[in-house]
Structure 1
Amino acid sequence: MPHLEDFYANKLRGGLGVTDAESVLDLRGAPRVQAEASLNDMLQRSRFSKGKTVAIRFDAPPEGGGETLFQPVGRLLLDAKRRGWIERLQTLPAEDGLGFYVALAGKPQREA
């Protein structure tokens, strides 16, 4: 089997990351309330524009353990996926740090 560079091998595996996204929502250093407000704003705006891909990044747990944005952000994204606002949702590859890769559905096309 031929050798593939990591970039192409990750594409085959579905490991889409920050470099593959059209934009990045960087929540690193943001308090939980601000992060949730930013995410909700992005999701609401996405319903009225064309679909796009977004990498959502946040901080790793502090030294010795602690809370991250993974669970609260994940819950908001899963709820949006159930509503049909998100077409694809996956975690970022390890080399990109903690976060999610999201394909927003955008505004539905009107039928003629």
Structure 2
Amino acid sequence: MAPGAARRAHAGVSSLPHFEDFYADKLRGSLGVTDAESVLDLRGANRPTAEASLNEMLERSRFGKGKTVAVRLDPPPEGGGETLFQPTGRLLLDAKRKGLVDRLQTLPAGDGLGFYVALSGKVARSGE
């Protein structure tokens, strides 16, 4: 299913015939959990476990086709406190700089805390 198709189906939104899907999705709002091909749920995970899971996801993506992943995180504890949002964001931003991630954005507020990530996948070599 194309990114945004699930959101359109759930929201009952009619198609926007004058826009390509990518731009129509931008008008409809951020891509979220229902738009991702898979979900990496890090709610309840500690920082070392979360970082290991993210690194494994990024490493595996280097050998397969690109895909989209919603990374879900715990909200801040009541009264404030540390979350995995900043360390996760930094790790994913670094992966984007290295070319492992094509697209990185926060999840819409209704989906909770986290990121929508489009993994680049295996890079085709010029000889293939």
Q: Which amino acid aligns with 1:79?
A: D
Q: What amino acid sits opposite 2:124 in the alignment?
A: Q
Q: Deviations over 1:25-67 (max 9, x none)?
A: 0000000110000000100110111000000001000000000
TM-score when scaled to structure 1? 0.89
Structure 1 position 102, deviation (Å): 0.3
Ranges of 4+ aligned residues in structure 1 off by more than 3 Å = 4-10
The amino acid of 1:21's aligned partner reads A
2:98 to 83, 86, 109: 83
What is the match of residue 25 of structure 1? 40
Q: Which moved more, 1:86-95 or 1:10-19?
A: 10-19
CA–CA separation in structure 2 for the residues paired with 1:95 and 1:11: 16
Q: Which runs of 5+ in 2 are unaligned?
A: 1-7, 15-23
**Root mean square deviation, CA, Å:** 2.1
- Unaligned residue ranges in structure 1 (runs of 5+): none
Paired residues, number: 109
Question: Sequence identity, in percent?
Answer: 72
Structure 2 length as normaliser, TM-score? Answer: 0.78
Which amino acid in the other structure matches residue 15 of structure 1? S
> 1:65 is matched with which residue: 71, 80, 88?
80
Q: Give, as a single letter, the amino acid of the residue that structure 2 aligns with 1:11.
A: D
Structure 1 counterpart of 2:45, one-letter code: A
